[in-house]
Amino acid sequence: MEVQQAISENLIEVFKTHKGAVYQSDDEQCLYLIFGGKTARYSFSCFSRLKKQIVSYNIEQLLTRSALLPDIEIVTLAACEHCYVLSITDLIALKDILEGAFAMFQLNHMIKDCLQRYIA
């Protein structure tokens, strides 16, 4: 799926950086991750597992490991069809995008709770 096509499908922007973006589709009940020139469609559960896996990487350890080891990480998830081959800088960028998206989800939830309490 092309990036422009994904954006034109009435998607809601959740979070965006210069490296990528996350969009939400209420009609399809899914999220789109645009990163590294690739658009990937995720259910919320797969997206949550991707975030958990990316956040689990110890960036400091990856930066200080032996020069003999490759500086790429292959990220795959069971029951998800997408795979990422990431350099350390790509890993940091993807981590920022995923953490930003989940921060927006939390913010939206907090605002909704406050409005419900205000109205009630």
Whether pLDDT at 6 is above 50: no
Q: Where are the domains of the chain?
A: 3-119
Alpha-carbon distance of 90 to 25, in angstroms, equals 25
pLDDT digits (tens, 9 = 90+) for 50-109: 999 999 999 888 888 777 777 889 999 888 888 999 999 999 999 999 999 999 999 988
Angle 44-55/88-119 helices, nearest 10 degrees? Answer: 130
pLDDT digits (tens, 9 = 90+) for 81-96: 889 999 999 999 999 9
Q: What is the pLDDT of residue 8?
A: 57
Q: Which fold, 3-119?
A: Transcriptional Co-activator pc4; Chain A (2.30.31)
Q: Which of 43, 15, 7, 12 is nearest to 101 (CA)?
A: 15
